[in-house]
Chains A and B, each alone.
Chain A
């Protein structure tokens, strides 16, 4: 693995070539859908010539392929957008470019970011960085793997219900899901507008801090962004930390629990207080999530109709044009979520499902708010198990959804949550712990993680 400092002060062209070389060497992982080699080298040359002094000058990175970016199509790993060339770039990418960072490629994902293993990619799954028989996790699997393989020091992902935290945990890297609204969603293919967040993968907390600091802030193109609150901070001593009881049940893999407990020991030994806390409502979080998120997905994916851009099927009538274009353009998981979403929004079911889920969500937010008045940070595993085998859950969507049970709460409540590497299982698979904080406490979470990094 590499860190940002490895690329500072060296030629941008050399950095880019090195990253592209590494990407090609690791082709078998299928972590990338495209390299943006030509544009990356052009930018690198310019940066070398003009001695651009940005905070990320000449540092290569990779973006999940649902970020609109120049240099390659933005496919969202779907047939629908297979040949879609974006006419503009996502705000997050623009901000990184202003600081001199160079996007060298687009990472694989579950189509339209629907999934938790990258097996839903139209173009085939990404393999786990540590064990090629296992999943990379998802939906930002490609971004996690390119970071874990040391192809780039950081990569961009999106997290709607765990899509950054879970693959970070599966591949042993840092994964940051910021506070909802911390980073602009403009120019990122929307999944579920009320929980979509833009974050990053990195190999250490300092790099993650730097990348988040660059990306965060109000954007006039996204009305849900917050004024920039992200400020790199020192760790607050003597924090009160709550272990979420509902995340430490017997159903959770023993190695995963052990890893969390090891981290808790480290927290205690560095002067923090750790207590068990309970949020009984958490047992409903997955149900809320799989009503609200599909509802928003069914709406956000309505624009992919074959009329203006993307996949357009040969058809003899308008309804055939819609039907066939969408049938060819979407994978099964996309269709499943569109159907669930359309169902819960339909007349007669809206109140019973969608509204009820939104009310429950408010209760969940209240419960977390209340807890975070007494505790600085909440801790637990990221997922109940380490990376599972390819194909193991692919045919059972419910099993797949269940692996999201620990990540969806922070998504529904809009709270920042980070996945921090915390060792390996006995069989050598990476495990992460999840730190959840109050909204806008992103920098504090990273400071805490950094302080423990140093204490090892």
Chain B
């Protein structure tokens, strides 16, 4: 990174709302795996005489999303029409909220790897409809309107990020907030959340921002970070050459890791915004807003706070928060069985579960009792940590108790002193241990680890290592 320049980043994020039907029509909002133009209503099709009917669930989700971003909700908000001609836009206008959005100013604090937070102010977020999809072939194009009319909220931040890492951290945190709040399914692969990164550079200390370029339609946190890295380098290179950055929209190519110009500000269309006369304003009293928000699920900041005394690494916390079901489980265990147990289970989940969908689904159905029992067995030295991990993996996909699993697999730790004593004798008299024994006697404490290891090996991991160590010390 060139240290003479600093970057300023603002992000716009489109979040697809998890409603059953579209924003203004009764058509199915889930187009995944459906044939082209199979989930459309005359309203989304733009038939003459059709009128939009606002989906109240979408408004509720917007109100909940607002809370997740610590944002104020407007008591009165309205819809506007944004006009342009394109075959994927059936009415010739998109219904959006240009002048009076539902979600007002807010704040998101995204954790950084160094333990700090980047504070990103939300300028506002508005409800709007998505467009359909065009697929281009040689000399013709096909229109699929399945997605036309799907409810989105577009979240617009203030330019509060100053590094690719901050942009990535914000994107990741926003995704968690929206998913936890139940606002979206958050399926990035299917474009449930799409990020536009606005980035400008200016000499360090400059009071004026540079001209910005907007990189559109990024669908992963990593690409948000990479696009910001690339844009910074590109813009600095232009300035270094004495050239100017043009205000424009750029596309991102994930394979080449580059952005490229799509259209400049000069081509910018006049959208002829107009209040939509077909849709009455959304009027919400503070009581109604509170009622919509009162049964919201807990959000990542709640868990971070709750786990702060467990002494977990940030990476462990991140792994847990990657799945809402893990976070809920650990939190429940913490409430029912205490911090120690919760911490042990937390580590298993953070390191042990593959993140493929199948396992995640299995894991979302679990009950806490089995994991608590497993953690207690470890605490009572009935299982080694290695053996516990094996039981844990089985527990994820089985409805047996951890004790039954441990017994079946013959993993229960031996804490019988005479049995272990025999193994200790065997190891200490083994010629292979002779050097270690000698060193230990000479005062080298460290080699005891080697000896315990040998005992564990001989006992196939079942010996209680603490007991083994105690016996070694006694015998030598």
Contact = CB atoms under 8 A, between A and B. Distances in A.
Interface of A: 68, 74, 76, 81, 84, 86-88, 90, 185-190, 192-194, 220-224, 295-296, 298-299, 301-303, 305, 307-309, 318, 322, 342, 345-347, 350, 354
Given A309-B47, A345-B273, 10 more contacts: A86-B49, A221-B51, A224-B278, A302-B92, A303-B90, A303-B91, A308-B90, A345-B83, A350-B274, A354-B274
Interface in B118-167: 143
Contacts of B85: 302, 305, 322
Contact of B48 (A84, A322, A347): A84
A187 B93 contact: no
Contact of B49 (A189, A309, A346): A189
Interface-central residue, B83, B90, B92, B276, by most chain A CB under 10 Å:
B92
A223 B278 contact: yes
Contact of A222 (B51, B93, B274): B51
B258 to A, nearest CB: 28
Nearest to A342: B272
Contacts of A342: 272
18 contacts: A68-B49, A81-B48, A88-B42, A189-B49, A190-B48, A193-B276, A193-B277, A222-B51, A223-B51, A223-B54, A224-B278, A298-B83, A298-B272, A302-B83, A308-B143, A322-B85, A346-B272, A354-B274
Given A193-B277, A223-B278, A188 B49 contact: yes
B352 interface: no
Interface in B81-103: 81, 83, 85, 87, 90-93
A90 B49 CA distance: 8
B149 to A, nearest CB: 13
Interface string B190-231: 000000000000000000000000000000000000000000
Interface-central residue, B83, B85, B143, B271, by most chain A CB under 10 Å:
B85
A2 B276 CA distance: 41
A322 B271 CA distance: 17
B5 interface: no
Q: Majority SS of interface residues in chain A? A: loop
A399 to B, nearest CB: 28
Contacts of A193: 276-278
B350 interface: no
Q: Majority SS of interface residues in chain B? A: loop
B127 to A, nearest CB: 15
A299 B51 contact: no
A299 B48 contact: no
A342 B273 CA distance: 10
B143 A299 contact: no
Interface residues of B, number: 30
B269 to A, nearest CB: 10
Nearest to A195: B277
Interface in B29-69: 42, 45-54
Given A221-B53, A223-B279, A87 B42 contact: yes
B280 interface: yes
Interface string B270-288: 1111101111100000000
Q: Nearest 3 CB-CB pairs, A to B?
A: A302-B92, A193-B277, A345-B272
Contacts of A305: 85, 87, 92
B83 A299 contact: yes
Contacts of A187: 49-50
Contact of B87 (A90, A194, A307): A307
A157 to B, nearest CB: 15
A45 B45 CA distance: 35
Contacts of A76: 48
Contacts of A86: 48-49
A312 B383 CA distance: 75
Contacts of B42: 87-88
A223 B92 contact: no
Contacts of A222: 51
Contacts of A301: 92
B270 A299 contact: no
Interface-central residue, B276, B278, B279, by most chain A CB under 10 Å:
B278
